[in-house]
Amino acid sequence: MSKNFATLRPRPLSLSRRSILGAFGLTMIPALSPRTALADVVAPSAEAEVTKADAIRNPGVPFRMTNTIVDYRAGVTQSQVVLETFGKVMASTGEFASIVRYLEPEQDTGKLFLKNGNDMWFYDENSKSTTRIAPQQRLVGQASIGDVISVNYARDYHAASIGEDAILDAAHAERDCWRLEMVAAAPDATYARVLYWVERETSRPVKARYFSDSGRELKVIFYKDYAPMLGATRAGTAIIIDAVDTRLATIMRFSDAIARDVPDQWFERDFLARLADQ
């Protein structure tokens, strides 16, 4: 397996006694007071806003990128993985498909994840076995497999516009956002319910809160470092914070993104063993 990929290393952190939110330049970042009452807001279609945000989260061209994930507890690095991701929109279904392959740590090279439609698989080269998995399974730290593999929110959730908020983003900049509530519509949806803030002017995701079937809040994700990537302005970093213990956080950084051909054959379960050997 080629190792010619830029690897991002976690930078030393200077911590106070505050939670990890402070360590990353964040406070609790609450939503500010709504600018207007819902009845006074002329909101666009919620489904249309989610679809536009999906187009920012999921490139419309076949691609390859590196995803470096670092897990922290109270600002101290606990673990790190480096993943190689391939993705494309399948012409046959119109749905987004992804393959994720471990680059680091070395003992995990040869392990892959595949998502194509409702099917999600894990392949382990050591055991030569393929296992069906759920997107809710934890990958590292606060990041589940569903957080790493690109998904179509517009397909997996029913959305309704519920308000307009001015919120502070991860850099403490105020953003005028549509606040959307999404409820799982597909059996393979990673979360039962999502509160989702997308910037009104750009439809860029700013923040999301994720909930379980029981209504318990699981995590908060902030999207930041927007920059040109694969033909659009996309987030370069996602910060995932545990909703109960804010000392626990996971940082995902996206780099080395290039448009490239990704054969449909790669997204077949039976092809995973061949990919693991490349």
77-101 burial: b if 16+ Cβ within 10 Å, else e: eeebbbbbbbbbbeeeeeebbbbbb
pLDDT higher than threshold 50 for residue 6: no
Confidence tier at 151 by pLDDT (50, 70, 90): confident
In Å, how far from its chain's centre is CA 129?
Answer: 26
Per-residue model confidence (pLDDT) at position 33? 46
Proportion of the chain above pLDDT 90, given as a percent: 64
Residues 154-208 pLDDT 10s: 989 999 878 999 999 999 999 999 999 999 997 778 899 999 999 999 999 999 9
Residues 99-124 pLDDT 10s: 999 999 999 998 999 999 878 999 99
Q: Which CATH superfamily is domain 20-277 in?
A: Lipoprotein localisation LolA/LolB/LppX (2.50.20.10)
pLDDT higher than threshold 90 for residue 30: no
pLDDT higher than threshold 50 for residue 246: yes
The average pLDDT across 134-157 equals: 88
Nearest Cα to Cα of residue 203 among 252, 153, 157? 153
